[in-house]
Amino acid sequence: MAFTLPALGYAYDALEPHIDARTMEIHHTKHHQAYITNLNNAIAGSPLEGKTLDEIIKGMDMTNMPVRNNGGGHWNHTMFWELLRPEDKGRLSGPLKDAIDSAFGSKETFMEKFSAAAMTRFGSGWAWLCVLPGGKVEICSSPNQDNPLMPGVGCGGTPILGLDVWEHAYYLNYQNRRADYVAAFWNVLNWNVVEDKYNKAL
């Protein structure tokens, strides 16, 4: 069964003015679709065909660049769209709030440190919040379409929050102003989804 593009679950203009409709449509239908098409082509006829995306990511042969780049691209974007559900942004609460307070002191300090990770990722990549065994959370970033679940990427743990800092995610609306895009991201992040992912990761 080949991988297919997941529906967003909301309209392309639902995140305006923070993320514009044109960026969302191109990002979803062109960029994400291309990762899926290329992943399907890369695994066709190989032992990876028939595995789940999580199985492919966790067991990644990091020298297999087509699967690494496009499998990561599919996993990372699938999570990203889920995080941006606009109908209810929720609020940070429960065990995730406790974990963030414990690791960073406050939600505000966490947001500053996460934003700094997104800003200092040189070139294309992602900023992440990951859950370690036991529930501790930590921030990291990765290049290209690498994912913390892949072997040796360095973050360890399970990602529950990811921010795409490729220029294709923001250039139409923000041009080179990545900081403005990162600041806008907090306006469309659904904390309930992050909390749900935290609880499932434990």
Asked if 146 touches Mn ion (CB under 5 A), the answer is no
CA 125 remoteness from chain centre? 10
Q: Of 114 and 166, which has the nearer Cβ to Mn ion?
A: 166
Q: How far is the CB of 107 from Mn ion (least distance, A)?
A: 25
Q: Of 138 and 167, which has the nearer Cβ to Mn ion?
A: 167
Contact segment (CB under 5 A) with Mn ion among 42-50, 83-91, 168-176, 187-195 equals 168-176
Count Cβ atoms within 10 A of the Cβ of residue 164 and give its class: 0-12 exposed, 13-18 middle, 19 or more buried.
buried
Q: With CA atoms as reference, report the closest residue to 145 among 45, 62, 50.
A: 62
State the greatest distance between any 2 C-alpha atoms of the chain, in Å, as a whole number.
50
Which residues are CB-neighbours of 159 under 8 A, at least 6 positions away?
Answer: 79, 128, 129, 130, 147, 148, 149
Q: How far is the CB of 134 from Mn ion (least distance, A)?
A: 31
Asked if 164 touches Mn ion (CB under 5 A), the answer is yes
Q: Of 32 and 137, which has the nearer Cβ to Mn ion?
A: 32
**172-196 burial string, b = 16+ CB within 10 Å, else e?**
ebbeeebeebbebbeebbbbbbbbe
Q: How far is the CB of 31 from Mn ion (least distance, A)?
A: 5
Contact segment (CB under 5 A) with Mn ion among 4-12, 156-164, 170-178, 188-196 equals 156-164
Q: Which residue is nearest to Mn ion (CB)?
A: 164
Give the pair of three-digit tokens for residue 85.
């559900």
Q: Of 81 and 191, which has the nearer Cβ to Mn ion?
A: 81
Q: How far is the CB of 35 from Mn ion (least distance, A)?
A: 8
Contact segment (CB under 5 A) with Mn ion among 53-61, 108-116, 169-177, 188-196 equals 169-177
CB 102 within 8 A of CB 136: yes
Q: Of 99 and 142, which has the nearer Cβ to Mn ion?
A: 142
What single letter denotes the amino acid at residue 180? D
Positions touching Mn ion (CB under 5 A) are: 164, 166, 169
